[in-house]
Amino acid sequence: MKSEEIVVAGFGGQGVLSFGQILAYAAMMEGKEVSWMPSYGPEMRGGTANCIVIISPTRISSPIVTQFDTAVVFNQPSLDKFHPRIKKGGLLLYEQDGIINPPYREDIDILPVPAVREAIRLGKKQIGNMIMMGALLARRPLVSLDAVLVALKKSLPERHHHMIPLNEEGLRVGRQLAEKSRHEPSVLFPTES
């Protein structure tokens, strides 16, 4: 597996940073080299937040890159900002809700995900991110679902552990959404690497 450079971006409250952390932690547990680099500082004031996650079989040189294999975005400004920075042949996942001008590039794999809508349907807005995660892993089997769940446990405070099953459900839903999307389905089962 080659190294994967991912950006996760959205508004402050949307949990993009922990999305990236869960991904990185899961990968670390599977023996990969990982780095997680958040955007920080006053641009966060009422602005967007993002983090760069790099997953690699070998030592990572710089945690900060400007071109990405994969972008997971949760709002319009982030879409506009990172859409052009995706490498040719790369992957773009985005939350459909609140996107006015959708992406246009032909040379990348684009997957809109109605995560918020689905989450509300499932009755817990919070699991939207896991739906997104499920969709991502369907397209890019970077880590196993099990690893993600362990990571999730780690990141959730005890009192929220009862929500793990619901999140598991979210991951599954996400995967399904990815599968029935117009693009050719990719590997369905998590890599064992």
Partner 1 sequence: MNPPIAYNGLELVYRRPVTLTDTPMHYCPGCSHGVVHKLLMEVIDEMGIQSETIGVAPVGCSVFAYNYMNIDMQEAAHGRASAVATGIKRMLPHRYVFSYQGDGDLAAIGTAETIHTVNRGENILIVFINNAIYGMTGGQMAPTTLPGMVTSTTPYGRDVATMGHPLKITELVARLPGAAFVTRQAVHTPTAVRKAKKAIRSAFEYQRSRLGTSFIEIVSNCPSGWKMTPLEGNEWMEKNMFPAYPLGDLKIPSATKPDAKVKEEV
Partner 2 sequence: MIRGTIVVNETICKGCELCIQACPQESIGLSDQVNIIGYRYAILVQDNCTGCVNCALVCPEAAITVYRQSKQSIKQKSTAQV
Partner 3 sequence: MNMQQSEQPRLMKGNEALAEAAIRAGLQGYFGYPITPQSEILEYLAAELPKRGGVVLQAESELAAINMIYGASGAGARVMTSSSSPGISLMQEGLSYMASAQLPCLVVNINRGGPGLGTIQPSQGDYFQATKGGGHGDYRLIVLAPASVQEMADLVFEGFRLAEKYRNPALILADGALGQMMEKVVLPPEGTLPMVDKPWATTGKPEWRERNIITSLFIQPEKMEEVNLQLQAKYQQLQKEVRHEAFEVEDADILVVAYGLTARIAQKAIELAREQGLKVGLLRPITLYPFPSDVIARYTRTATAVLVVELNSGQMVEDVRLAVNGRRPVHFKGRMGGVIITPEEILEELVSLAKEYRVAEEKLEV
Nearer to partner 2, 9 or 55 (CB): 9
Q: Which of 2, 31, 46, 106 binds partner 1 (CB under 8 A)?
A: 46
Give the angle subtended at the CA of 174 by the CAs of 184 and 5, to the nearest 5°.
70
**Site of interaction with partner 2 (CB under 8 A):** 11, 46, 48, 75-77, 98, 100
Select from 2, 45, 59, 162 the one that contacts partner 1 (CB under 8 A): 45
For partner 3, the binding residue among 1, 57, 61, 187 (CB under 8 A) is 61
21 binds, among partner 1, partner 2, partner 3, none (CB under 5 to 8 A by kind): partner 3
**Residue 100 interacts with which of partner 1, partner 2, partner 3, none, CB < 5 to 8 Å by class:** partner 2
**CA 163 to CA 168: how far, in whole Å?**
9
Q: Distance between CA atoms of 159 and 12, rounded to whole angstroms?
A: 23
Instruction: Name which of 27, 23, 9, 35 is nearest 130 in CA terms.
Output: 23
Please measure the distance between the N-terminal and C-terminal CA atoms of the chain and give it in whole angstroms. Answer: 8
C-alpha 145 chain-centroid distance: 13
**21-60 footprint of partner 3 as x/- string (CB under 8 A):** x--xx--x----xxxxxx-xxxx---------------xx
Q: Which partner from the list partner 3, partner 2, partner 1, none does 98 bind, CB cut-off 5 to 8 Å by kind?
A: partner 2
Greatest distance between any 2 Cα atoms in the chain: 45
Rounded least distance, CB 98 to partner 1, Å:
16
63 near partner 3 (CB under 8 A): yes
Q: Could you say which DSSP state residue 75 is in? A: S
> Of 87, 113, 120, which is closest to residue 19 (Cα–Cα)?
113
Shortest Cβ 44–partner 1 spacing (Å) = 8
Q: Answer yes or no: are the C-beta atoms of 179 and 137 closer than 8 Å.
A: no
- Sites of contact with partner 1 (CB under 8 A): 42-43, 45-47
